[in-house]
A and B are shown apart, each in its own frame.
Chain A
Amino acid sequence: MVTGFARLFVILVVLFLYLPVFVTVIFSFSTSPRLSLPIEGLTLDWYRAALDNPQMAAALRNSLILAAGTALVSGLIGCACSFGILARKSARLRQGLLAFSLLPAVVPLLVTGIALAVMFHALGLSQGLRNAMLGHVLVCLPFVILTMNARLQNFDFSVLEAARDLGASRWRAFMDITLPLIRPSLIGACLLAAALSLDEFVVTWFNIGNQQTVPVLVWGLMRRGVDPSINAVATALFALLVTLVAASNLIGKRGAR
């Protein structure tokens, strides 16, 4: 009896978590322009419509530029940062530095977004992709540091000493030993940053000015009513994010072994 109730509860929670996504995915393939059941037929027209929208093409390009740039910049900075943290000898210092670098992730995005907008304005930097990119790096960095830190926990620093001892300069030791060993973790963290950047909305909206990314465009379209092509965009975005996060985990785990 108790187990029956518990099972029902779990099913309800899972439905609550996944039903909206599921509905969106289903209706992105439905022939009917209205969200209604039963589904009359399947089509890819909404995907075509979304891609034909010239605004969408520009937004997609911006989103990809932001994602790639954010992945690269926050991946490199985050990796170097977590390496630096782990190399500290004192465990308390390590814990402190880690907590300190994760703190920005707790600041509400609204606050981050507005604060950046005000700061950029004060610095005379006009709104645009550059500002949005800086915002994305700031938002993604804590997560990159967190995952890199988890994966580098078992890094054996004595192999670096061994390389130096055998005659390698700092640079050679980094290229020959460090980089090959951390590459999977690094790529995993970069993919995670890309995924976070792709669906970032709040900070982007405050800083991108009159340009658009996919989430910003979708938000604009939603205000004019739900167009089924939005379902198509959302589904495509969803698929891309799932792929990125899954790849990030798989590649990163291989490196941690």
Chain B
Amino acid sequence: MTAPAVAINGLSKSFGTAQALDDVSLAVEPGEFVSLLGPSGCGKTTLLRIIAGFESPTQGRVFIHGQDVTDLAAEQRPTNLVFQRGALFPHMSVGMNIGYALRLRRWPAARIAARVEEMLALVRLDGMRDRMPGQLSGGQSQRVALARALAAEPKVLLLDEPLSALDLKLREQMQLELRAIQRQLGATFVFVTHDQTEALVMSDRIAILQGGRIVQTGSPQDIYRRPNSVFVSGFIGQTNLLRGRIVGQDGALSTIDVGGVHLSAPTPPGLAPGDAAILLLRPEALRLREPGGARVAGCAVEGLLTDRVYLGHCVRITIAGPGGAPLCADLREEEAEGLHKGDIVSLGWAATAPILMKEDLA
């Protein structure tokens, strides 16, 4: 069995009294694109900087391809980091920037020149070799930073929100490019971001951090379809939360009482009748139903339409759901036609759409 590209074992880090990371473990396979996703202050950047060697952990070890690198300085680690704002050397040309790591490794000049051209082609900046960093746009700077970090073929590439300073359009384009480059090279990428869409688009696997802990790890589909907590489901995309109590169980299906309305959902492990529970529903899983039409038991609610927002690709309507909780639904434009504030609207969903989980005891 080959060792993981990055293995983090029981990592903790505190700054004074503040606990930035609390017993974090993670394994990244070779060639995998893993995103560390979380709100600001969750410890994701600290984790990345510990892997890079800029911070040392209070506890725990870091392994890269089986080698314990915990006590190695940043310059001795087979990792390279792409910084948030590029951190290009302002007094060196693009070519000199990209070739810097190779010059440190005493490559012959001809080989360096060839490698620099190769990297420029990879990030689609052919002909820019002699530009100075001050003459580059934000997107170009980040491409140079990427090329510079990849030039010496690091075993693991670390990226610290490299796209966050770019505008939306460019960011979306760079996301796809970055993923294409990663696939092309077969390289291992560890990518830090607070942008859930970015993580969904690019990653093979996402690790969600909250308060210095990894709260869920999984493929983008796993995380989106089967969040294991209200926090994760709220962080990844929009979610409706219906709070209630389990009133009945019939094998695979549980019935939850939400403000007097009985709804059913697949039974999760460890939930028994009488437990306080939460039903999660994605807005795009909800469909408009004909009033008075045949209803599937436990998979529909009726309520007063309180808001209607045009989002371009859909229309988001909000109804007062059971118990008064707002319920959002993303409808197609033609579906939402003729719906107005004050209408009584009936919404339904597939029996497999809702996720039931135990109420997080706060």
* Interface residues, chain A, with chain B CB atoms under 8 Å away: 156, 158-159, 161-169, 172, 176-177, 180-181
Taken together as a complex, chains A and B put the C-alpha atoms of A166 and B75 apart, in Å, by 6
Interface string of B65-78 (1 = CB under 8 A from A): 00000000111000
- Report how far A21 CA is from B84 CA in the complex, Å: 53
Q: For residue B81, which residues in chain A have a CB less than 8 angstroms away from its CB?
A: 161-162, 165
A169 to B74, CA, bound (A): 9
What secondary structure prevails in chain B residues at the interface with A? loop
Q: Which B residues lie within 8 Å of A158 (CB)?
A: 83-85, 87
Given contacts A158-B83, A158-B85, A172-B104, contact A165 B90 (CB under 8 A): no
B83 contacts A164, CB within 8 Å?
A: no
Residue B256 lies at the interface, judged by CB distance under 8 Å to chain A: no
Residues in chain B within 8 A of chain A (CB atoms): 52-54, 73-75, 79-81, 83-85, 87-91, 100-101, 104-105, 148-149, 152
B90 CB to closest chain A CB (Å) equals: 7
Residues in chain A near residue B90, CB distance under 8 A: 159, 181
How many Å from the CB of A90 to the closest CB on chain B?
11
Considering only CB atoms, which chain B residue lies closest to A159 in the complex? B87
Query: Residues of A contacting B79 with CB < 8 Å?
Result: 165
Question: Among the listed B54, B84, B85, B104, which residue makes an inter-chain contact with A166, where contact means beta carbons less than 8 Å apart?
Answer: B104
Nearest-Cβ distance from residue B187 to partner chain A, whole angstroms: 16
Residues of chain A within 8 A of B52, CB atoms compared = 165
Q: How far is the CA of A156 from the CA of B74 in the complex (A)?
A: 18
Complex: A181 Cα to B91 Cα, angstroms: 7
Assess the A162–B73 pair: CB atoms within 8 A.
no
Secondary structure at the A interface, as helix, strand, loop or mixed, is: helix
Complex Cα spacing A178 to B88, Å: 13
Closest 9 pairs (CB-CB, A-B): A166-B101, A158-B87, A162-B87, A167-B104, A164-B74, A167-B75, A165-B81, A159-B87, A164-B75
> Given known contacts A166-B80, A167-B75, is B104 in contact with A156 (CB within 8 Å)?
no
| CB atoms of B89 and A162 under 8 A apart | yes
Question: In the assembly, what is the distance between CA of A156 and CA of B134, in Å?
Answer: 14
Considering the chains assembled together, what is the distance between the CA atoms of A168 and B103 in angstroms? Answer: 10
Q: Are A156 and B87 in contact (CB under 8 A)?
A: yes
Contact B89–A168 (Cβ < 8 Å): no
Q: Which residues of B contact A159 (CB under 8 A)?
A: 87-90
B91 touches A180 (CB 8 A): yes
A-side contacts of B101, CB under 8 Å: 166-167
Instruction: Please tell me if the beta carbons of B89 and A161 are within 8 angstroms of each other in the complex.
Output: no
Partner of A165, one of B80, B88, B89, B105: B80
CB pair A166–B87 under 8 Å, yes or no, is no
Question: CA separation between A117 and B105, bound complex, in Å?
Answer: 53
